[in-house]
Amino acid sequence: MIAEPPPEPAVVITAPRLPNAAGDAAFSIIGVDPAQLKDAIALDAALKSVAGFSLYRRTSTLGANPTTQGASLRAVAGSGASRALVTLDGVPQNDPFGGWVIWTALPPATVGRAEIVRGAGAGPYGAGALTGVVSLQSRADLDGAEAEASVGTLGYRQGLAVIGGEVAGARVLADVGAQHADGWIPVIQGRGAADRPLSLDDYSGAVRVEEQVGGVAVSERVAAYDENRGAGVVSAQSRAQGAQASITAAAQPTASSLGWRMQGWLSQSNLYNASASVSNDRNNSTPSNVQYATPSLGWGLNAAVRQVLGDLGLEAGADVRGVSGEDRERVTYVGADFTKARKAGGQTLVAGLYAEASTSLAGWLLTGGVRADFWGDFSGERVEKVIASGATTLNQRPGGKDGVLPTARFGARHDLGDGFAWRAAAYAGFRPVTLNELYRPFRQGANDTEANPALKPEKLYGIETGLDYANAAGAKATATVFYNQLKDAVTNVTIGVGPGTFPTAGFIPAGGIVRERENAGTIDATGLEADGQQKLWGGVSLVGSLAWTYSKVDGGSQAPQLDGKRPALTPRLTGTIGARWQVNPDIALQLDGRYESARYDDDLNTLRLRSSVTADLRADWRLNRRLAVFLAVENLFDAKVRTAEAADGTYSYDAPTLVRVGIRVAT
């Protein structure tokens, strides 16, 4: 689980990327076990083996709405918009319009390496790396074909094929996969005729071509995904579609020449999302809104140069990212149909320059860098019209905003001997606000959350210190103490409770809550992280991860009612433990457990979601060199994990026990 130190510059790297910077060792970087990636039912499930990584809600990605799948680190504060930057081969995977991540588009068996960089990612990561970075790399080890198929309870079916190898002097990796699940009904107590399963159908495919052109490594990748979900209630469902294309070129630094990397990418996405309100007896539902299209386009360019002069490493770079998109909806359901239409969206742009340096001296590693980013949002609009007459009832066209934000990061690491090393770091980072947060309100059941075009970027400042240990016997451990301060945190702030009529939100029924996104003051987070792994006797190995974070809000003048509260959907303590037993060369057993303390479903800390304990079990049996079978049980003890609480006290729950059996074939 714990990442190895970055390789020395002399290591030969053929992939189109620069080698890990020597200065990375001064920061908290945790690697995910490749076996965990290969065997996981979903990529986010593998990443959750590192405590502190979480999605906005606890719901498994088998049943989670796309808009709740934003990734965060360190439990500073959860957000559907992702307070962590997720990249694949350097290309952002966060949705252009909303910032969430479509995890079904990233089959774990196609990922060769995953690292979690904790702490604000200034330097080469730039915008969006507020609480850290989830850095993914495509597989490069496959020569041949692999296929997997499995079936299970909850109507689960899955298939994936991956092909890799040399074609006409280039290395090719191609994959195609699909999943289906009948799902589960999230409401248990008080379930009615309007309740339906959280179902899933998803499809994904990608082709990556990598080749050497002279001394330059070049790769091109194209990918697409399509997922359909039942949302747990009659009339509620979602569909997410998207595609991505990228090209990357890199040359490695040598003692006599600069290394460099250039990359360009395009990312297109679209979301259909229909929600509904449920009657008190849960026997009837009424459509709340239909977000029938969200066409958006993201694009980016980045470049860097690297010079290595003995123990001195220098890097400078630039990047630019742009997004344009809009939300198209039908809202205000009256009688038997929607009466209003809404269009909301705009454009955002961020562009940055950075420079970093690192050096080694008498057992010390010192690193530091500075960065400056221009950010702006413009061409924003929110227009609502009466469908029958075409009359405009709301026409908001806020003026654009822009600014320049400086950030930086500095770190030090000292070898203490006997396998111990001490490190310390200080950093600053920021996250630009998404189009979804700026311009698109949304209604979930009777609750309404209003957009806010006046939002400005979130900023995070932090310090940390840690101790690392490793020995020749395979034991590794790391512990970090940190303090982070999140300023101008984008928070859904409660501004009223129904019944009543509110500006722009309209009528809210009894029990409904009206919230608005605000830059609600400051969030202070103090925490402790610890990770370790140990190989024992008889083929047994243990891994563990622990994250404790004390976060509290200072709402300032915008939201004084939040003073002293814990950020919504943010647990205080998370712990994971995994035990693997390689019984013999052909049989392996894996048992994983996860604990998460209680979290609140609302900003006022009135809706409490109790703590949860879950366990997963897996057994693999290799029948011969090409054929293997497996049995996997997610949520082994059928824990009732609460994922949401409505204002009337109705709870939603994560998936019950899921048993899968499958087969793997390799050529």
Q: Which pLDDT value is given to residue 497?
A: 79
Of 277, 338, 356, the residue nearest 20 (C-alpha): 356
Contacts of 174 (CB under 8 A, 6+ apart): 162, 163, 164, 205, 206, 207, 208
Measured in whole angstroms, the distance separating CA 417 from the mean position of its chain's CA atoms is 36
Of 71, 88, 73, the residue nearest 29 (C-alpha): 73
Q: Which pLDDT value is given to residue 442?
A: 82
Q: Which pLDDT value is given to residue 152?
A: 98
Q: Which pLDDT value is given to residue 256?
A: 84
For 348-372, give the DSSP string: EEEEEEEEEEEEEETTEEEEEEEEE
Helix (H, G, I), strand (E, B) or coil at 194: coil
Write the pLDDT tens digit of every residue in 127-139: 999 999 999 999 9
Write the pLDDT tens digit of every residue in 533-554: 999 988 999 999 999 999 999 9
With bands split at pLDDT 50, 70 and 90, how would you rate the model's confidence at 445? Answer: low
The CA-based angle 573-35-139, given to 5 degrees, is 115
Enumerate the H helices of 246-392 as residue ranges: none
Measured in whole angstroms, the distance separating CA 99 from the mean position of its chain's CA atoms is 9
Residue 6: is its pLDDT beyond 80?
no
Of 44, 22, 192, the residue nearest 107 (C-alpha): 44
Q: If you average pLDDT over residues 452-465, what whole number do you get? A: 96
Q: Which pLDDT value is given to residue 15?
A: 67
Q: Give me the residue spans of the domains in the chain.
A: 22-232+239-446+473-666
Contacts of 607 (CB under 8 A, 6+ apart): 600, 601, 645, 647
What's the DSSP call for residue 94? B
462 DSSP β-pair partners: 427, 484
Higher local confidence (pLDDT), 442 or 466 = 466
Among 3-12, 222-231, 625-634, which is the least confidently predicted range? 3-12
Residue 1: is its pLDDT beyond 70?
no
105 vs 221: CA distance, rounded Å:
14
Q: How confident is the prediction for the chain on average, in pLDDT?
A: 92
Q: Which pLDDT value is given to residue 532?
A: 96
Q: If you average pLDDT over residues 619-635, what whole number do you get? A: 97
Write the pLDDT tens digit of every residue in 362-401: 889 999 999 999 999 999 999 999 999 999 999 999 999 9
Structure tokens that stand for 453 in this block: 């075009």
Write the pLDDT tens digit of every residue in 311-343: 999 999 999 999 999 999 999 888 889 999 999
With bands split at pLDDT 50, 70 and 90, how would you rate the model's confidence at 419? Answer: very high
Q: If you average pLDDT over residues 208-221, what whole number do you get? A: 94
Q: Looking at domain 22-232+239-446+473-666, which of 2.40.170.20, 3.30.70.20, 3.40.50.300, 3.40.50.720 is its CATH number? A: 2.40.170.20
Residue 8: is its pLDDT beyond 50?
no
Q: Which pLDDT value is given to residue 7?
A: 46
Is-contact 547 73, C-beta < 8 A? Answer: no
With bands split at pLDDT 50, 70 and 90, how would you rate the model's confidence at 264? Answer: very high
Largest Cα–Cα separation, the chain: 78
Q: Which pLDDT value is given to residue 5?
A: 43
496 vs 478: CA distance, rounded Å:
45
Q: Which pLDDT value is given to residue 2?
A: 52
330 vs 328: CA distance, rounded Å:
7
Q: If you average pLDDT over residues 201-228, what whole number do you get? A: 96
Write the pLDDT tens digit of every residue in 557-589: 888 999 999 999 999 999 999 999 999 999 999
Q: What are the φ and ψ backbone dihedral angles of 436, each rounded to 5 degrees?
A: -60, -45
Residue 3: is its pLDDT beyond 70?
no
Helix (H, G, I), strand (E, B) or coil at 241: strand
* Cβ burial 271-294 (10 Å sphere, 16+ → b, else e): bbbbbbbbeeebeebbbbbbbbeb
With bands split at pLDDT 50, 70 and 90, how would you rate the model's confidence at 452? Answer: very high
With bands split at pLDDT 50, 70 and 90, how would you rate the model's confidence at 30? Answer: very high
Place of tokens 């690491």: 413
Q: Which pLDDT value is given to residue 131?
A: 93
Residue 144: is its pLDDT beyond 80?
yes
